[in-house]
């Protein structure tokens, strides 16, 4: 059995890794000169409007919302932990102050309750699924809780008359609303704006009432909050795009996974419909080995073709022939004939399965099976005899019910067999041995309605059935020559077979004026036999089912007027339904959505911290250098917009600093240099777009455009340059504020001596740097905000850059320029000495650390999930190739059972939905039987040749070489039908364009010449084999032409075959032919004479069932290199 490699649990774990998104796409070969259309088309792929339209068309918007909520689950947990830790830190800071809580309990209580609620929410979300379906409401509650805490803190410090009113807190809350809270894009914008208004309106009101309103600072606050909203909107917009693209990619991967599962299941069923399970497994592994280059057969032996034959001891072989069916077949239409055979042999298959027998093959109207395969069965002889009795009984019921004169002749023998398949095309499970030959003659030497057994079988029965002498030697020469003693089994239920009801039914059947074939067909339809490939999935639907927009949509070929007419038989008619084309896509879509829901539920927050075999846990780099290189080379189409957004943040920071901070030379020169640097990077980033509008492209300009769009390290360097520039210029504004030296003691406001516990403060309240010191660390926040917009820069790079920036900012805050921030605290200490107060440096540090952790948490998840998505896409691509390989293998398997056009019929959705049989009549078909009569003399069963196995190895080489001729263009119209022992059967004219339409005379000549050329090619091929194997095998070939009926019968082992008088005569031409010659009928000889083949009249010969027929012989010596006719050899050498 084929092992499915994608259970839901594995898939959930893998898809859950693809939790986030990344703004990149696979690398494409981009020329150095890029036209406008290519750039615009690339950007159109990132159009949010078009993506949303696709989602609405596919009706997956609701599922996508759940997907986004689960993606933000880990970030939401991080947010909760951050603010729980923030609350704990504030409580610790308050407790360290030398002020009593007795008069200021409200603030610690509020902070403690808030932290406790957030911690409770964290624990519920982490360890329970109680709130997972209400995550949006939970996020709204968290936002209101944080917003209320900020407003409460701001109002509690109103008495301090702070000019900036803690804008940093609302800066953080606004950013979190866009990045970490799982709001939709629309709700995130609303929440972000409300957060800013919730600060600005009360701050404006308080400052006006307290007469501390400063226009410049209020404008700076507005610009700061505006910048964080713009950065958040940008981040949310492109993350939404990337989420949707990742969602579609994940959905497409799931679709490929489902299709791969279906293809594997289908391949298994296809193989099992042709071969037994034990052999199918071996052949499947061999087929896959050939594709992957790990074939064991080819690696161990390159001199011989693969052979799948095993020896089995002590089995029973049953041969059964329908007596009188040839006459009945002459009266049947093609549809009736195929239906009749399918119903009869379908019934026989059911009887065989019930009695633990394995059907081997169907030869015309002959059916044979074996009991004791693949595993030994003690009662194999009883099984075969019981089956023989039951099929005799079944056929008698048909005869009595329909009035048709048919019966069964059954022969059974017990012995050893070699079983398997030989050749390269049209695999059919078969058995070989002298015991098989004897079983065949037991059938031909039997009597209608009786089960004919040998002494070996009788011994295995151990008296279970009563028998009587069979006298088979009187009816069969082989039995007489080998002195085989035979017996007839006495049916213990024979007396009860014919009932009065059956006798009455028989009388009514005889009185019926309908043809015997019609009565037969109608009666057999009540058996309800299975149809060929009934249990197989519809391969054509699997191949044409493309639900994702990126998937190619193959165009089905139109049905032209010249298409062959096919007779279609409806089995067990059901009400006509047109839902086959719609239900199946819907079913597949539902299956994909179900898998997506399971994958979404499997997304976890801790997966990125688990040790991975593919990535380093800290740096997230791939351990495979090839993957690392390919990941880096993936294009980032939105990189230029990242630079543009960072530049906009730089502009807002410049406005804030030039509006509020002192205009020092250091500040001015740093912004001049930074502006020039950023404009240069911006120009390089948009070089590809600018180039599209230039009529004359300079080579240098084209080179720059190519470098920025194709070379990953150039983009990485440009991103680093932008980030370093902005982070640096945010810190330079404080450098020109020199260390204050004229420091006085802080006055307590009463003219008394200074309080020793109070810090030293500037003696002048006009120090410009001290008054605006909060905007120094707000500039730091803006500088770090620029890191948010670069979604694909590399986590390790950002980790190093942000860590260095945090260290530098901390040094400025707490060491080199700490006096500035201490001076700010001193200026308001006189009003806060009796109140709880957190120093500015402490608050600034908390905000910087919170922003630092927030950015790293966001970027790490982006980096991790983008890399996992890369791995997922790589695996999906590999699975897509496996799906294509499976599809090709499935097609090869079906075409190994039947011709291509017949296989296409069974792969079509119409044939699958209406449960149809296939039959087709042909006006002109040339049939060939080619046997190796002296192979029977070569075949011996001794210990030296492994009981005949080595003899069959040579036969396998012969048949495989014959099959290889079919791949030549000249013999593309030759269809191999089957092999029967050492007999090779083929035909021409069985194509989809030569059905019931008229065949022109030139076409008839071509078909006849083609089959004769193929027969001569077989002779030539066998001559070469004789040279290398030192044998003297000769072919005996018979060819005939005329109308035939083709069809597929058998549900458990579907088999394509042809029937008709023309086939029977071709078989007789071979069996009565001459070694080394091709025997044809007089009508066929007339065609060949026109083709300049030398035909020698043999005269009248006796043909079983046909009487005397005048036949002709074609000398095959030309194929072995004889000089008197060299034209054929010359033609073959040219081809």
Rounded to 10 degrees, what is the CA torsion of 1047, 1050, 1054, 1058? Answer: -30
List beta partners, residue 413.
317
CA distance 389 to 449: 8
DSSP 486: E
Whether the Cβ atoms of residue 656 and residue 223 lie closer than 8 Å to each other: yes
Whether the Cβ atoms of residue 86 and residue 846 lie closer than 8 Å to each other: yes
CA distance 946 to 938: 14
CA 230 centroid distance within chain: 40
Q: Which ranges in 512-579 belong to alpha helices (H)?
A: 516-525, 539-544
Active site residue 877: no
Active site residue 1104: yes
Counting every residue written for the chain, the total comes to 1135
Lookup: tokens for 612: 């991975």
Residue with tokens 């600005």: 200
CA distance 173 to 169: 6
Give the pairing type, strands 407-421 and 451-454: parallel
Strands (E) located in 233-387: 308-323, 357-363, 366-371
SS (H, E, C) 13-45: HHHHHCCCCCCCECCCCCCCCCCHHHHHHHHHC
361 φ, ψ (degrees, to nearest 5): -160, 160
| Helix (H) or strand (E) segment spanning residue 772 | none
DSSP 814: I
In a 13 Å sphere around the CA of 303, the CA atoms on its Cβ side amount to 5
CA distance 93 to 917: 85
CA distance 268 to 324: 38
CA distance 962 to 976: 10
| Helix (H) or strand (E) segment spanning residue 922 | strand 916-931
Q: Among residues 183, 184, 172, 178, which one has the least CA distance to residue 146? A: 172
Whether the Cβ atoms of residue 1084 and residue 1046 lie closer than 8 Å to each other: no
CA distance 47 to 106: 50
CA distance 864 to 19: 9
CA 314 centroid distance within chain: 45
- Among the listed residues 510, 1104, 1108, 1131, the single catalytic one is 1104
896: helix, coil or strand? coil
CA distance 407 to 365: 12
List beta partners, residue 369.
318, 359
- 3-state DSSP: the chain helix, strand, coil percent, rounded to 5? 60, 10, 30
CA distance 21 to 248: 11
Whether the Cβ atoms of residue 199 and residue 225 lie closer than 8 Å to each other: yes
- Among the listed residues 426, 841, 1021, 1068, the single catalytic one is 1068
Residue with tokens 């080579």: 699
List beta partners, residue 743.
762
CA distance 375 to 312: 9
CA distance 1039 to 1041: 7
The residues annotated with a catalytic role in the active site are: 1068, 1104
């Amino acid at each position: 059995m084929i092992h499915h490699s994608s259970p839901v649990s594995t898939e959930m774990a893998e898809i859950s890794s693809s939790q986030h998104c990344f703004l990149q796409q696979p690398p494409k070969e981009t020329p150095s000169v890029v036209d406008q259309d290519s750039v615009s088309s690339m950007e159109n792929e990132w159009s949010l409007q078009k993506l949303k339209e696709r989602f609405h068309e596919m009706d997956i918007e609701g599922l996508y919302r759940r997907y986004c909520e689960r993606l933000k689950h880990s970030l939401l947990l991080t947010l909760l932990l951050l603010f729980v830790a923030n609350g704990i830190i504030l409580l610790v800071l308050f407790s360290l102050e030398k002020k009593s809580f007795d008069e200021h309990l409200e603030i610690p209580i509020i902070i403690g309750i808030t932290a406790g609620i957030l911690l409770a929410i964290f624990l519920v979300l982490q360890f329970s699924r109680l709130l997972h379906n209400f995550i949006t409401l939970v996020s709204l509650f968290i936002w209101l809780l944080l917003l209320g805490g900020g407003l409460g803190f701001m109002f509690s410090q109103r008495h301090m008359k702070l000019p900036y009113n803690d804008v940093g807190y609302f800066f953080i809350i606004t950013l979190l609303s866009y990045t970490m809270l799982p709001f939709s894009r629309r709700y995130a914008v609303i929440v972000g704006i409300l957060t800013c208004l919730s600060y600005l309106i009360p701050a404006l009101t308080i400052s006006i009432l307290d007469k501390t309103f400063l226009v410049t600072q209020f404008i700076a606050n507005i610009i700061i909050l505006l910048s964080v909203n713009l950065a958040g909107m940008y981040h949310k917009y492109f993350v939404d795009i990337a989420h949707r693209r990742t969602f579609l990619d994940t959905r497409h991967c799931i679709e490929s996974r489902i299709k791969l599962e279906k293809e594997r299941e289908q391949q298994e069923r296809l193989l099992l419909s042709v071969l037994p399970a034990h052999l199918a497994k071996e052949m499947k592994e061999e087929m896959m080995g050939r594709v992957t280059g790990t074939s064991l057969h080819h690696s161990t032996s390159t001199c011989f073709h693969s052979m799948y034959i095993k020896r089995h001891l002590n089995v029973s072989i049953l041969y059964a022939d329908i007596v009188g069916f040839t006459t009945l077949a002459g009266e049947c239409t093609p549809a009736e004939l195929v239906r009749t055979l399918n119903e009869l042999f379908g019934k026989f298959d059911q009887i065989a399965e019930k009695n633990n027998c394995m059907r081997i093959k169907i030869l015309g109207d002959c059916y044979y099976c074996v009991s004791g395969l693949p595993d030994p069965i003690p009662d194999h002889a009883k099984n075969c005899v019981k089956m023989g009795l039951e099929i005799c009984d079944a056929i008698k019921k048909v005869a009595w019910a329909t009035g048709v004169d048919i019966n069964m002749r059954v022969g059974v023998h017990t012995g050893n067999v070699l079983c398997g398949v030989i050749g390269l095309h049209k695999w059919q499970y078969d058995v070989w041995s002298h015991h098989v030959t004897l079983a065949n003659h037991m059938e031909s030497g039997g009597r209608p309605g009786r089960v004919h057994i040998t002494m070996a079988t009788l011994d295995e029965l151990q008296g279970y059935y009563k028998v009587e002498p069979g006298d088979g030697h009187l009816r069969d020469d082989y039995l007489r020559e080998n002195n085989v003693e035979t017996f007839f089994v006495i049916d213990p239920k024979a007396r009860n077979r014919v009932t009065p009801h059956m006798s009455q039914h028989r009388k009514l059947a005889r009185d019926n004026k309908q043809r015997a074939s019609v009565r037969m067909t109608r009666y057999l339809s009540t058996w309800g036999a299975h149809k060929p490939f009934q249990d197989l999935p519809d391969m054509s639907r699997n191949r044409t089912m493309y639900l994702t927009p990126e998937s190619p949509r193959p165009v089905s070929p139109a049905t032209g007027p010249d298409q062959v007419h096919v007779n279609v038989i409806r089995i067990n008619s059901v009400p006509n339904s047109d839902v086959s084309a719609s239900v199946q896509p819907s079913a597949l879509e539902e299956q994909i959505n179900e898998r997506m829901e399971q994958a979404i539920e499997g997304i976890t927050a801790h997966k990125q911290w688990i040790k991975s075999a593919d990535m380093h846990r800290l740096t997230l780099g791939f351990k495979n250098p090839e993957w690392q290189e390919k990941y880096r080379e993936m294009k980032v189409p939105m990189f230029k917009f990242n630079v543009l957004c960072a530049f906009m943040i730089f502009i807002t920071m410049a406005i804030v600093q030039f509006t509020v901070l002192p205009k020092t030379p250091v500040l001015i020169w740093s912004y001049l240099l930074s502006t020039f640097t950023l404009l240069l990077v911006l120009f390089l980033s948009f070089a590809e777009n600018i180039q599209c509008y230039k009529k004359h492209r300079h080579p240098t300009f084209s080179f720059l455009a190519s470098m920025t769009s194709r070379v990953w390290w150039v983009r990485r360097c440009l991103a680093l340059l932008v980030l370093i520039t902005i982070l640096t210029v945010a810190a330079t504004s404080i450098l020109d504020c020199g260390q204050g030296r004229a420091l006085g003691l802080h006055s307590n406001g009463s003219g008394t001596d200074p309080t020793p516990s109070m810090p030293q403060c500037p003696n002048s309240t006009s120090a410009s740097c001290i008054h605006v010191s909060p905007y120094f660390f707000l500039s730091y926040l803006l500088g770090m905000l620029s890191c948010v917009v670069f979604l694909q820069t590399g986590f390790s790079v950002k980790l190093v850059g942000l860590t260095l920036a945090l260290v530098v900012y901390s040094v400025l805050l707490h060491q080199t320029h700490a006096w500035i921030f201490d001076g700010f605290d001193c200026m308001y200490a006189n009003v806060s000495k009796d109140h709880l107060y957190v120093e500015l440096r402490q608050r600034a540090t908390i905000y910087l650390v919170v922003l630092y952790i927030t950015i790293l948490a966001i970027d790490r998840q982006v980096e991790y999930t983008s890399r996992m998505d890369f791995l997922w896409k790589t695996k999906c691509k590999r699975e897509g190739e496996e799906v294509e390989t499976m599809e090709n293998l499935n097609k090869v398997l079906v075409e190994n059972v039947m011709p291509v056009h017949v296989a296409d019929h069974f792969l079509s959705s119409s044939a699958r939905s209406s449960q149809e049989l296939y039959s087709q009549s042909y006006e002109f078909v040339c049939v060939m039987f080619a046997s190796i009569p002296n192979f029977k003399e070569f075949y011996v069963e001794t210990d030296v040749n492994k009981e005949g196995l080595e003899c069959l190895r040579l036969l396998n080489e012969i048949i495989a070489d014959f099959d290889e001729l079919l791949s030549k263009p000249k013999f593309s119209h030759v269809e191999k039908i089957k092999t029967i022992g050492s007999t090779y059967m083929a035909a021409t004219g069985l194509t989809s364009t030569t059905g019931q339409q008229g065949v022109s005379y030139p076409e008839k000549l071509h078909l006849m010449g083609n089959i004769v050329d193929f027969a001569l090619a077989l002779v030539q091929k066998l001559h070469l084999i004789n040279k290398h194997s030192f044998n003297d095998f000769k072919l005996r070939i018979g060819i005939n032409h005329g109308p035939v009926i083709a069809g597929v019968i058998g549900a458990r082992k579907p088999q394509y075959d042809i029937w008709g008088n023309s086939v029977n005569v071709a078989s007789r031409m071979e069996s009565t032919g001459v070694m080394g010659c091709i025997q044809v009928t007089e009508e066929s000889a007339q065609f060949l004479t026109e083709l300049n083949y030398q035909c020698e009249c043999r005269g009248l010969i006796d043909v079983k069932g046909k009487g005397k027929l005048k036949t002709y012989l074609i000398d095959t010596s030309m194929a072995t290199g004889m000089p008197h006719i060299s034209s054929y050899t010359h033609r073959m050498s040219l081809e």
